[in-house]
Each structure stands twice: as structure tokens, then as C-alpha cells.
Amino acid sequence: PGRHGRGLRRHAPDDRRVDVQEALGRLAPDDRRLLLLRDVEELRGEEVAALLGVSLAAMKSRLHRARLRLAAAYEEVRRESA
């Protein structure tokens, strides 16, 4: 696309925010909750683990996998919106 075309517009901060929200919506509720607690609410790992009733190691493992799934969902959203 040209200088003012859709390709550049999709990179605007508001568009990225919408894309991230769409990607979050595609995740399983457990993944979404974990990501929101740790990355949005910025709770410490120990706090998140306690809320979820799992060990810190389990929480870290789940968080890593949830972030991978979020990245994949985000890429899918970006491809669909291009």
C-alpha cells in the first residue's frame, strides 16, 4: 500500500490495541486470566500462583505457554486484518 494506505494505518497504536484485544479474546479463559493478572495487573509471580492455586514454577510455565499462544493469536489477527 501507498504512504497513506491501509498497510501503514494498521500499525497505528490504536489498531495494535484493538488487535491485541481481539487476540486476547481468542485465548482460553485460563490463559487470558493469567496474562491479565501478570502482565496487565502486574501482580508478582507469587501472587498470581497463589490466586491460581499452583506453584510458582507451574505458573511460570503456564505463563510462557500463554504468551506463546497470545503471540500466535496476534499474528493471526494481523494477517486477517491486512
- Taking only the tens place, the pLDDT of each residue in 12-64 is 678 889 999 999 999 999 999 999 999 999 999 999 999 999 999 999 999 99
Confidence category of residue 2, pLDDT binned at 50, 70, 90: very low
- Of residues 4 and 53, more confidently modeled: 53
Average pLDDT for 4-14: 54
pLDDT at 34: 97
DSSP string, 8-63: HHTTSHHHHHHHHHHHHHTS-HHHHHHHIIIIIS---HHHHHHHHTS-HHHHHHHH
